[in-house]
Every structure is written in C-alpha cells, then in structure tokens.
Structure 1
Amino acid sequence: MAAAAMATPPAVDAPLLKQAMRRLAGGVVVVTAGIGEDRAGFTATSALSLSVDPPTMLVCVDRAGSTWPVIARRRHFCVNILGADQQDVAERFAGLGGLSGAARYRGCDWTIMRSGASGLAGAQAVVDCALEEVIERHSHAILLGAVREIRLSRAEGATLVYGGGQFLLFVRS
C-alpha cells in the first residue's frame, strides 16, 4: 500500500498556541547560569527530569534571551524549583521590574553549586547541571544537563505553579 502524500498543515498563529499552553499548568523554576557579574537567569515552566539513570535534566531556553550566551559560555545551568513564597523571584527573573543579568540576583540568598552556578537558598529543590548536549530548534535550544548536585529544602512546602496566566500553588497532602 502506498503512503498517502502528507499535506502541509495549516499555519497556526503564535497567540493561539500561547492561549492553548496557558491551559497547561506547570511547575515554576528559575534557571540560573554564570558566575559573579557574568550571571543571567530566566523563569520557566519548561524544565523536567529526562532520566534518572543517568540523572539528566531537560530545559528549554530562548536563544535570543540573555541567559543562552551565558549557558553556552559557562557550560552549566541550575534549575531552582520555587516554593509558594517565591513568586517575587519568579517575577524578577521573568523580567518584571526591568532588571537583567546579575541584577536579578540581588535581594536573595544564593549558594554556589558544584558547577559554579548559583542555587537559590530556600528553593524547594535545586538541581545543578553540567551542560551535556544542546539541540537547537527554531527560536529555542533544548538543553540536556548531567545532574552534578541536588539540594532539597528542609521543609517540604507548597510549590509555585503557573497556569491560566497566573501563579498558583500546588500543596502536597
């Protein structure tokens, strides 16, 4: 049986895709990279565990953003899983307030992780990664990171989630 010719799918506009994705809630993380004044970071819901054997994280980053060149240069990144009381950190690293680069780090306590990246003190969890592979697709890069260090908060609390265009809380029962 001959394969049917594949028709070109109709174009979907970006605002419609954004509307659809707002209906999918995701955990909020701040991805950090760099050292000292050569630091940058961004807020994302596009971070997940790819594999536990070997421990590997997957993160998507906009290649036009300020964090991508730092990750490419330093070859590391840190995934900071935010708690309920860290919405201000999520907003700052999302660019609200106009801060960029190392200025986004001010006002929070940070620890230096094994890779040299900054881990947020008080985050629900901090996963430090060495950049293992980069897959460039369209406007973004898919980062695969070999997990080098994990720090968990002492108290397990509510996790910050984003969905429906707003921040929400996920509370474990």
Structure 2
Amino acid sequence: METSQSLNVEVIDNSEQYRRDYRNAMARLGAGTNIVTTDGSAGRAGFAATAVCSVTDTPPTLLVCLNRGSSAYAAVHGNRTLCVNVLGGEHAELCRIFGGGTPVDQRFDTVAWAASETGCPRLPDALVSFDCRISSMTACGTHDIALCEVQAITIGEAKSALIYFERRYHAICREGEL
C-alpha cells in the first residue's frame, strides 16, 4: 500500500528552492504531449509542449505557452502561425527530440512532415493536428501565452495518447485496448 507524502510549501518568495519545489509539484500534473511547429519568413522551428489547452469553440481557439528563451520563440513570434500536433503513444522518442538538446535544424529530419494549410509542418500520424494563426500573445514571467485561432483540423487514427507524468512519457489507451 502506497503512502502519500505531503509537501507544504509557502508561496512567499522566488528562491531557487521554491522554483524547484514548484517544478517538482508540476511534474505530478499529468499532461498530454504535443509538438508545436511553425514555418514561414521567420524560419522553421518546433518544440515539445504540454502547456496547450482549449479556450473556446467560438471561434475555435487554443492557448499555447512558449518560453521566450526557447530556440523556437523567434520563429513562432515572427511567423504568427503554428501547428499543434497531438502525440500518440508511439511518438515518445520524437517528443524527446523536440524537447530540447537536438539542434532545431535536425529535429525535422526524423520523420516525414506534411504542410498544413498555413504552411506549418504537420505530423501525418498525429492523433489530431490544429493548424492555427496567433491572434494575440501576452507575456507572463518567462513565457508568452499565445491565443491561437484554429484554421484547420486534421484528425488522425486514435491509437493511444502520450502523457507526460513524473518526468516520463506514458502511453494510455482506451479501456480494454492495448
């Protein structure tokens, strides 16, 4: 039988220890994984993201958070378009490649990409791809929050979803499926 641990952290400062505690706590928030891509006059780039969510269906809009220090920031900010590719269980290694460490120009070499309606790279076997135009960006701490109006949706075959939890990838399937 597992016992739960309690970590009580007071939100009183921005010390390194507090930021570490916050990151450790956020590791317990399981999240879907995505590869966000862009292409255009500001360049081609892509990054792995868990900070993506629906905002509204009228008009269809997603929220995507982007670190201003990331290698993809200038291209996303300059192009004002992006494609959110929702990952399946078979995409764990691709997500690691787009998660950092691999040079930006080499990230797209591992699989064949299709062009979305806006020209952003679209992963053909993604669970779903949302092709978007950025309608606004707002700064918050180290990140920009992009509100992205969906221009096109490509729905793939649902096999399993790739979730990031406790700093590891996990494939989840529908009940009764493997």
Corresponding position of 1:69 = 74
Asked if the contact 1:87/1:160 (under 8 Å) is kept, the reply is: yes
Structure 2 residue aligned with 1:25, among 23, 30, 33?
Answer: 30
Structure 1: 5+ residue stretches without partners: 1-8
Corresponding position of 2:149 = 146
Q: Equivalents in 1 of 2:84, 2:120: separation in Å?
A: 10
Asked if the contact 1:38/1:101 (under 8 Å) is kept, the reply is: no
Structure 2: 5+ residue stretches without partners: 1-10
Asked if the contact 2:133/2:149 (under 8 Å) is kept, the reply is: yes
Kindly report structure 1 stretches of 4+ aligned residues shifted beyond 6 Å.
none
Residue 99 of structure 1 aligns to which amino acid in structure 2?
A: T
Corresponding position of 2:104 = 101
Q: Equivalents in 2 of 1:36, 1:161: separation in Å?
A: 32
Q: Equivalents in 2 of 1:46, 1:117: separation in Å?
A: 19
Q: Equivalents in 1 of 2:128, 2:50: separation in Å?
A: 15
Corresponding position of 1:114 = 117
Aligned residues: CA RMSD: 1.7
Deviations 1:85-126 (A, max 9, x none): 11111000012xx32223100021111111111111111111
Q: Percent identity?
A: 28
Corresponding position of 1:40 = 45
Corresponding position of 2:5 = none
